[in-house]
Chain A
Amino acid sequence: MASKAQMTSKSAAAIDRARAQGRAALIAYLPAGYPSVEESIAAGIAAARNGADLIEIGIPYSDPVMDGQVIQAATTEALANGFRVSQVFDVVAGITSQTDAAVLVMTYWNPVVRMGVDEFSRRLAEAGGAGLITPDLIPDEAAEWMEASDKYGLDRVFLVAPSSTAERMQRTVDASRGFVYAVSIMGVTGARSSVSTAAKDVVAAAHAAGAERVCVGLGVSNADQVREIAAYAEGVIVGTALVKTLGDGGVDAVAALTKDLSTGLSPEEA
Chain B
Amino acid sequence: MVDAPSADNNAAEAFLQGGSLRHAPGPYFGSYGGRWMPESLIAALDELEETFNKAKDDPEFRAQIADLNKNYSGRPSLLTEAKRFSEHAGGVRVFLKREDLNHTGSHKINNVLGQALLAKRMGKTRVIAETGAGQHGVASATAAALLGLECVVYMGAEDCRRQALNVARMELLGATVIPVTSGSQTLKDAINDALRDWVANVHNTHYLLGTAAGAHPFPAMVRYFHEVIGEEARAQILEQVGRLPDAVCACIGGGSNAIGIFHGFLDDPSVRIYGFEAGGDGVDTGRHAATITLGKPGVLHGARSYLMQDDDGQTIESHSISAGLDYPGVGPEHSYLSDIGRVSYEPITDSEAMEAFRLLCRTEGIIPAIESSHALAGAIKVGQRLAAEDTGTAKDKIVIVNLSGRGDKDVATAAEWFDLLDKDSAESEIGKEGEQL
Residues of A near any B CB (own CB < 8 A): 61-66, 68-69, 72, 76, 79, 84-85, 109-117, 135-138, 140-141, 144, 158-165, 168, 172, 183, 186-188
A158:B1 contact, CB within 8 angstroms:
no
A72: contacting residue among B182, B201, B312, B313, CB under 8 A: B182
Q: How far is the CA of A154 from the CA of B199 in the complex (A)?
A: 29
- Chain B residues with CB under 8 Å of A61's CB are 313-314
Closest to A83 in B: B312
Per the bound structure, the CA–CA distance linking A109 and B314 in Å amounts to 11
Cα of A138 to Cα of B34 in the assembled complex, Å: 10
Q: B27's closest neighbor in chain A, by CB?
A: A140
Question: Restricting to B277-331, which residues have a CB under 8 Å from any CB of A?
Answer: 296-301, 307, 309, 311-315
Q: A186–B37 contact, CB under 8 A?
A: no
Given A136-B38, A141-B35, A163-B40, decide whether A186 and B202 contact each other with a Cβ distance below 8 A. yes
B38/A135 in contact, CB under 8 A: yes
Sample 16 A-B pairs with CB under 8 A, ordered by A number.
A65-B196, A66-B38, A66-B40, A76-B183, A84-B312, A110-B300, A113-B297, A114-B296, A114-B298, A114-B309, A136-B299, A140-B35, A141-B35, A163-B44, A168-B39, A183-B39
The reply to whether A188 and B200 contact each other, CB–CB distance below 8 Å, is yes
Q: Which residues of A contact B189 (CB under 8 A)?
A: 63
How far does the Cβ of A77 sit from chain B's closest Cβ, in whole Å? 12
Q: Is B203 interfacial (CB-CB < 8 Å)? A: yes
Using CB atoms, name the residue of chain A closest to B202. Answer: A186
Contact residues in A for B34 (Cβ distance below 8 Å): 140-141
User: Are B199's CB and A138's CB within 8 A?
Assistant: no
State the Cβ distance, A148 to closest chain B Cβ, in Å. Answer: 12
Chain B residues whose C-beta falls within 8 Å of the C-beta of A135 in the assembled complex: 38
Identify which of B46, B309, B314 gathers the most chain A CB atoms within 10 Å of its CB.
B314
Cross-chain contact A188 with B39 (CB below 8 angstroms): no
CB nearest to A160 among chain B residues = B39
- Residues A110 and B307 in contact, CB atoms below 8 Å apart: yes
Given contacts A110-B298, A110-B300, A188-B200, contact A137 B309 (CB under 8 A): no
Contact present for B38 and A62 (CB under 8 Å):
no
> Can you name the residue of chain A whose Cβ is closest to the Cβ of B200?
A187
Residues of chain B within 8 A of A140, CB atoms compared: 34-35
B299 partner residues in chain A, CB cutoff 8 A: 109-110, 113, 136
CB of B39 within 8 A of CB of A65, answer: no
Knowing A76-B183, A138-B39, A141-B35 are in contact, say whether A63-B188 is a contact too (CB < 8 A): yes
Interface pair A62/B314, CB less than 8 Å apart: yes
**Which residues in B have their C-beta under 8 angstroms from that of A114?**
296, 298, 309, 311-313
Write the nearest CB–CB distance from A240 to chain B, whole angstroms. 14
Please, what's the 1-or-0 string for B163-188, where 1 marks a CB less than 8 Å from any CB in chain A?
00000000000000000001110001
B residues near A158, Cβ cutoff 8 Å: 39
Asked whether any CB of chain A lies closer than 8 Å to the CB of B36, the reply is yes
Check B43 for interface membership: any CB of A closer than 8 A. yes
Of the residues B35, B203, B301, B309, contact of A138 by C-beta under 8 Å: B35
Q: How far is the CB of A80 from chain B (nearest CB, A)?
A: 11
Judge whether A66 and B199 touch: CB under 8 Å: yes
Interface centre among A69, A136, A183, by most B CB within 10 Å?
A: A136
Known: A65-B199, A110-B298, A136-B37. 8 other contacts (CB 8 A): A63-B315, A113-B1, A113-B297, A113-B298, A138-B37, A172-B39, A186-B200, A188-B200
- State the interface size on chain B (CB cutoff 8 A): 39
A residues near B39, Cβ cutoff 8 Å: 138, 158-161, 163-164, 168, 172, 183
In the complex, which residue of chain A has the Cβ closest to the Cβ of B315? Answer: A62
Chain B proximity of A107: nearest CB distance (Å): 9
Give the CA-CA distance A182 to B192 in the complex, in Å: 22
Of B37, B39, B199, B314, which is in contact with the most chain A CB atoms at under 10 Å from its CB?
Answer: B39
Q: How far is the CB of A163 from chain B (nearest CB, A)?
A: 4
Of all chain A residues, which has the CB nearest B317? A62
Q: Report the separation of the CA atoms of residues A194 and B111 in the bound assembly, to the nearest whole angstrom.
A: 39
Contact with A along B203-223 (1 / 0, CB 8 A): 100000000000000000000
Is there contact, CB below 8 Å, between A111 and B43? no
A62, A165, A187 pick with most chain B CB within 10 angstroms: A62
Q: Are A141 and B38 in contact (CB under 8 A)?
A: no
How long is the Cα–Cα vector from A111 to B310 in the complex, in angstroms?
9
**Given contact pairs A62-B315, A64-B192, A165-B43, A116 touches B202 in the complex (Cβ within 8 A):** no
B72-116, CB < 8 A from A: none
Contact with A along B29-50 (1 / 0, CB 8 A): 0000011111111111010000
Asked if A111 and B192 make an inter-chain contact with CB atoms under 8 angstroms apart, the answer reads: no
Nearest chain B CB to A93's CB is how many angstroms away? Answer: 18
Interface check B195, CB cutoff 8 A: yes
Docked Cα-Cα span, A137 to B201, in Å, equals 21
Closest to A167 in B: B46
Nearest B residue to A144, CB-CB = B1
A111-B314 contact, Cβ under 8 Å, with A63-B188, A64-B192, A165-B43: yes
What's the minimum C-beta distance from A183 to chain B, rounded to whole angstroms? 6
- Across the two chains, which residue of chain A brings its CB closest to B182? A72
The docked-state distance in angstroms from the alpha carbon of A79 to that of B313 is 12
Residues of A within 8 A of B195 (CB): 65
B36 touches A63 (CB 8 A): no
Separation of A116 and B37 alpha carbons in the complex (Å): 19
Partner of A63, one of B203, B297, B301: B301
Q: Tell whether, in the assembled complex, residue B199 and residue A111 are in contact, meaning their CB atoms are under 8 Å apart.
A: no
A65 to B190, CA, bound (A): 10
Assess A115 versus B38: contact at CB under 8 Å? Given A165-B43, A188-B196, A188-B199.
no
The minimal Cβ–Cβ distance linking A134 to chain B, given in whole angstroms, is 10
For A144, list chain B residues within 8 Å (CB).
1
Q: Shortest beta-carbon distance, A18 to chain B, in Å?
A: 25
Q: How far, in angstroms, from A110 to B315 measured CA to CA in the complex?
A: 9
Contacts of A72 in B (CB 8 A): 182-183
List residues of chain A with CB within 8 A of the CB of B296. Answer: 114
CB-defined contacts of B297 to chain A, threshold 8 Å: 113
Partner among A63, A111, A186 whose Cβ is within 8 Å of the Cβ of B183:
A63
Closest 9 CB pairs of A and B: A114-B313, A111-B313, A161-B40, A163-B43, A187-B200, A110-B313, A85-B312, A62-B314, A62-B315
Contact of A138 with B313 in the complex, beta carbons under 8 Å: no
Interchain CA distance A66-B192 in the complex, whole Å? 9
Q: A68 CA to B40 CA in the complex, in Å?
A: 15
